[in-house]
Amino acid sequence: MPSDALRGVALVTGGGRGIGASIARELSDAGMRVAVTGRSSEQVHAVADELDGLALLGDATDRDDVEGWVEQTERELGPIDLLVANAGVAGSGHPFLEESIEEWWRVFEVNVLGAYLCCRTVGARMAERGHGRIVNIGSGGSYLPIANPTISLGTSYGPSKAALGRFTEILAAALGQSGVRVFLISPGLVRTSMTERMGDNAPWTPPELAPRLVRVLASGRADALTGRYLHAEHDDIEDLIARSGEIAANDLNAIRLRR
């Protein structure tokens, strides 16, 4: 895979740890100026300091926080070229009938509303400028069989990621004429504090694959795949780029009901 050199500014939500931190590091290594968000001051500042980036504290579900992030990023670093909506949570871990309504709904608030607020706020500015890229972090938990280990993340996690996936596809169409490209990726089953409960025997994905995929998407070389579902482990992004015409013509890399 080519090592894409990048320019511009990236905003990575949930960038203080796990997949988000790895993506932030990859983008910084590629040449982007990076702002990272999160609720843990120590984690967010540690990553931002490491990258000579911008630390932004707050909650992705809070409109004022999100608007503040975007305003501060563009004031201090410049116009946002890439949004990576990575902030996400799993279920509480409590059995379905013992989980509170508030715990169940919180997953949707973070995984769907949080992504929406970020996409809306950043997307409006991108559309006004006529360019930009958005990467939403989805999950195989949105469609894989119930026997898949992601079922352990609760009854709200998979449905929330399914909603995010459909939102991303429609958003790509809605913003496409404005020059904004929108992607949905699955990082695979990466071992993080969120997925640790799955245990040592889970089919773990190498953690470097998702950051590498985001780097390619940030380069613009895969813009023809906007709106498509891209898997960091099971898709060869270079092959998909080469076959982008065929993929669009046959509606591939999309979650559909087939009869």
Q: Is residue 166 part of a domain?
A: yes
Q: Is residue 255 part of a domain?
A: no
Q: Is residue 40 part of a domain?
A: yes
Residue with tokens 């996936």: 165
Bridge pairing between strands 229-231 and 33-38:
unpaired
**pLDDT on residue 34:** 98
Q: Is residue 24 part of a domain?
A: yes
Q: Is residue 80 part of a domain?
A: yes
Report which of 198, 80, 97 is spatially closest to residue 134, judged by C-alpha positions: 80
Convert the pLDDT of each residue in 183-210 to its tens digit. 999 998 777 766 766 667 766 778 799 9
- Measured CA to CA, the distance from residue 223 to residue 247 in angstroms comes to 13
Q: Is residue 183 part of a domain?
A: yes
Q: What is the pTM of this model?
A: 0.94
Q: Is residue 3 part of a domain?
A: no
Convert the pLDDT of each residue in 1-44 to its tens digit. 456 889 999 999 999 999 999 999 999 999 999 999 999 999 99
Residue 116 annotated in active site: no
Q: Is residue 4 part of a domain?
A: no
3-state secondary structure of 187: coil
pLDDT per residue of the chain (259 residues) written in tens, 0 to 9: 456 889 999 999 999 999 999 999 999 999 999 999 999 999 999 999 999 999 999 999 999 999 999 999 999 999 999 999 999 999 888 999 999 999 999 999 999 999 999 999 999 999 999 999 999 999 988 998 877 777 778 899 999 999 999 999 999 999 999 999 999 999 987 777 667 666 677 667 787 999 999 999 999 999 999 999 999 999 999 999 999 999 999 999 999 998 8
Please count the structural domains in the chain.
Answer: 1
Residue with tokens 């190498």: 206
Range of the domain at 219: 9-249
- Measured CA to CA, the distance from residue 31 to residue 195 in angstroms comes to 30
CATH number at residue 56: 3.40.50.720
